[in-house]
Amino acid sequence: METRVNYAIVGFFVILLSLAGACIAIWLLFGVSHKSFDYYYMYVNESVSGLNVKSAVKYSGVEVGFVSQIQLSKNNPEKVQIKLAINEGTPISVDTRAELDTQGLTGMAYVELSGGQPESAPLVAKHGEKYPVIKSEPSLLFRLDAALDHVTGNLETISQGLSSALNQKNTQAFSKILENLDGFTTQLDENSAKIDSIIVNLNHTLENTSKASQDLPQLVHSLNESAESFHAMMHTLTSASEQAQVTFTNTSATVENLNDQVLPEAVEALNSFTQVMKQLKNFSHELEDNPSVLIRGRQAKQPGPGE
């Protein structure tokens, strides 16, 4: 009878320990929390390796929730749909962004939230959506992979370009260039003395130029004085021209008065003088023909018939 009681006690403790272990396992697996969560979706076009359900969701490095579900998008299999459970009251706005990130060297992936201004509107579900959708950005690893692909493509292009450039014809041309360069270097070494002389002459020229530049202000001053003198001379010539114009005007008026008054009288006197001269000329001829005219006077004309 005593042996049976011992087995019963042992069995009871085994069952009790099993139930306690199951409760502890359930607590460790699912946790016991009284928190309320808001649910959101995010879609990514890259691999989500390393991201698991219960992976952390952080906002600027602060853990604010966990990944609730991971599955392919029903509308586009190239996208992965991630359901996020975020603590109720966490400010998720229309300009909040989500991206995948890895923690240290462990490679454990989590979701990092960033952005969101205080004045931005809260993010709400659109028509036909079960939960609001947080816009995602490519992760650092995805960007690095894309950049490496781009660099690899560029390197391949450069390699092909070098292969086409370094053909036999171009190699020969490059060798010819090197030979010409060697010849030029040799000639440069042979003419180094002439080059030194040219440099010395250039230094003298620069010194003379410097001296000329120092004399330039005085030359400019002299030119300014000459310009002022020329300006004064032009002013004097302008005044003389104005006076000459006034004199010419007065002379023109005098000439007009002379033409109107003196000239007619002079012409009349000249005509009278011409008549007198004609009379003297006739009298001279008459005196030559008959000198007695001076004593006897002119003979009277013979009377005509009937007089």
Tens digit of each residue's pLDDT (9 = 90 or more) over 91-138: 899 999 999 888 765 667 889 998 878 888 888 888 888 899 999 888
Higher-pLDDT residue of 191, 85:
85
From CA 292, how far away is CA 290, in angstroms rounded?
5
68-72 long-range contacts, Cβ below 8 Å, gap at least 24?
A: 68/39
Please compute the mean of the pLDDT values over residues 205-226 and round it to a whole number: 73
The confidence score (pLDDT) of residue 262 equals 57
Output the pLDDT for position 85. 93
Nearby residues of 82 by Cβ (< 8 Å), 6 or more positions away: 41, 42, 43, 44, 48, 51, 67, 69, 70, 111
Share of the chain above pLDDT 90, in %: 13
Expressed as residue numbers, the domain containing 53 is 31-141
In a domain, 13, yes or no: no
Q: Highest-confidence range of 40-44, 150-154, 283-287, 288-292, by mean pLDDT? A: 40-44
Comparing CA positions, the residue from 73, 42, 63 lying closest to residue 137 is 42
User: What percentage of the chain has pLDDT greater than the value 70?
Assistant: 73
- How would residue 250 be classed by pLDDT, with cut points 50, 70 and 90? low
Number of structural domains the chain divides into: 1
Q: Is residue 294 one of the residues assigned to a domain?
A: no
Residues 111, 58: contact at Cβ < 8 Å?
A: yes
Measure the CA–CA gap between 284 and 272, rounded to whole angstroms.
Answer: 18
Question: Could you tell me if 45 and 99 are in contact, meaning their C-beta atoms sit under 8 angstroms apart?
Answer: no
Residue 242 lies in a domain: no
Euclidean distance between the first and final Cα of the chain, in Å? 231
What's phi and psi for 84, nearest 5 deg? -110, 135
- Report, as an integer, the average pLDDT of 179-204: 80
Backbone torsions φ then ψ of 173, nearest 5 degrees: -65, -40
Secondary structure (DSSP) of 210-273:
HHHHHHHHHHHHHHHHHHHHHHHHHHHHHHHHHHHHHHHHHHHHHHHHIIIIIHHHHHHHHHHH
Rounded CA-CA distance 73/210 in Å is: 80
Residue 63, domain member (yes or no):
yes
**Element housing 22 (H / E):** helix 2-30
Kindly state the average pLDDT of the residues 270-274.
74
What is the chain's mean pLDDT, rounded? Answer: 77
**CA 87 to each of CA 67, 81, 178, 257: distance values in angstroms, whole numbers, following the listed order:** 12, 19, 72, 122
pLDDT score, position 5: 52
Which tens digits make up the pLDDT trace of 38-83? 999 999 988 888 889 999 999 988 999 999 999 998 888 889 999 9
Q: How far is CA 163 from the centre of its chain?
A: 38
Q: Is 70 helix (H, G, I), strand (E, B) or coil?
A: strand
Helix (H) or strand (E) run with residue 23 in it: helix 2-30
What was the pLDDT predicted at 134?
A: 92
Helix H or strand E encompassing 286: helix 263-289
Q: Which residue has the higher pLDDT, 155 or 59?
A: 59
Residue 98 structure tokens: 């989500």
Instruction: State the greatest distance between any 2 C-alpha atoms of the chain, in Å, as a whole number.
Output: 232
- Is there a domain that residue 292 lies in? no
> Would you say residue 286 lies in a domain?
no
235 against 98, higher pLDDT:
98
Assess if residue 279 is contained within a domain: no
- DSSP β-ladder status, 108-115 and 96-103: antiparallel
**Is 80 in contact with 73 (CB distance < 8 Å)?**
yes
What integer pLDDT is reported at residue 172 of this predicted model? 76
Write down the pTM of the prediction: 0.43
Selection from 115, 122, 109 nearest residue 60 by Cα: 115
62-72 and 108-115 beta bridge pairing: unpaired
pLDDT-derived band of residue 23, with 50, 70 and 90 as boundaries? confident
The whole-number pLDDT of residue 306 equals 59
Query: What pLDDT digit, counting tens, does each position of 159-174 carry?
Result: 777 777 666 777 777 7
- Spacing of C-alpha 167 from chain mean position: 41
Look at residue 47 and tell me if it is in a domain.
yes
